[in-house]
Amino acid sequence: MLKKRSFYVVMLIIGVGCIGTSFFFNDTITKPIAGSLIGIGAGFIGMSIVNLIMKHMERKNPALEKQSLIDFNDERNISIRNRAKAEAGDITQWLIMGIAYITILISAPLWVTLAVVIVFLIYHFIGLYLISKYQKEM
């Protein structure tokens, strides 16, 4: 709906390329890289295929495309999406702190706990920045 068909074709090719590249990492040291490439590639492939199918359906049925564009830009749906994002952010905030406590309980290295706490702080600083920005705009 928002992106062109060619974007999803490129993402599909990148996904296949990531999975193909993962086969070159056979050492025990590079296994995490191979696993990450497979995960990223699978995600790109799945996203691309679904969006290409949606594009194909919209092209076959222009009324569906028009209705989905109207729904996407509808003020009520925008408000619902923004509210859902805000709630997801609140839940993520508590999950990040839960991960920090779990790293403490399992005696993970200090840098791991500090990295999680830094992510938590970055989340809050970004939130404060955006609140300030939107207050000036509105």
Give pLDDT tens digits for 10-60.
999 999 999 999 988 888 788 888 889 999 999 999 999 999 998 888 888
Take residue 98 and report the two structure tokens written for it.
Answer: 């839960």
Give the model's pLDDT for residue 2: 56
Three-state secondary-structure class, residue 100: helix
Asked whether the beta carbons of 46 and 83 are under 8 A apart, the reply is no
**What pLDDT, in 10s, does the model give residues 95-105?**
999 999 999 99
For the ranges 32-46, 62-76, 120-134, the lowest mean pLDDT is seen at: 62-76
| pTM of the complete model beyond 0.85 | no
Give the chain's end-to-end CA distance (angstroms, integer).
29
pLDDT-based confidence at residue 94 (cuts at 50, 70, 90): very high
